[in-house]
Amino acid sequence: MIYKLKNREIELVKGDITEMDCDAIVNAANSQLILGGGVAGAIRQKGGPKIQEECYQIGGTFVGGAVITTGGDLKARHVIHAVGPRMGEGDEDNKLKNATLNSLKVADENKLKSICFPAISTGIFGFPLNRCAEIMISETISYLEMDTRIERVLFCLYDQQAYETFLEILKDK
């Protein structure tokens, strides 16, 4: 599904984020920027060691923060590492808002035109999928309504349940 907003668009796709051909994909990162399992592990495996090496040089970021590295061997030229909240740590909704917003800002600061997000924090971090979709889509729409270089935001969702959840939220916007 494609949602049009001015001369920009939000697109939902079901698939593997490491296969996305765009300026940057977003890694659902931990604050140490260690590419372990889930989305991060797939990025490490397909993107090669250069991404992790750059993460070690950066050293980490705060929950809600985002940093950028090369895309290594991925189709995407860059990886934006966004640290989402773990359920139970407190203030999770605001931390997810910040992770989304800071990813978009990093893309803009690096003059990128397209960015692709996963459903941040919904894996081992335990964030509820419906709340994630509502927050991430709302923040993205608000950001795209402002002055930005970003022309296209994709949400690459790994399974049918996530895709349908994001689709229902986007249809209501």
Domains of the chain: residue spans and CATH: 2-171 (3.40.220.10)
pTM above 0.85, yes or no: yes
**pLDDT per residue of the chain (173 residues) written in tens, 0 to 9:** 889 998 999 999 999 999 999 999 999 999 999 998 888 999 999 999 999 999 999 999 999 999 999 999 999 999 999 999 999 999 999 999 999 999 999 999 999 999 999 999 999 899 999 999 999 999 999 999 999 999 999 999 999 999 999 999 999 98
Coil/strand/helix, residue 36:
coil
The strand ranges marked E within 8-150 are 8-14, 24-29, 66-70, 78-83, 114-117
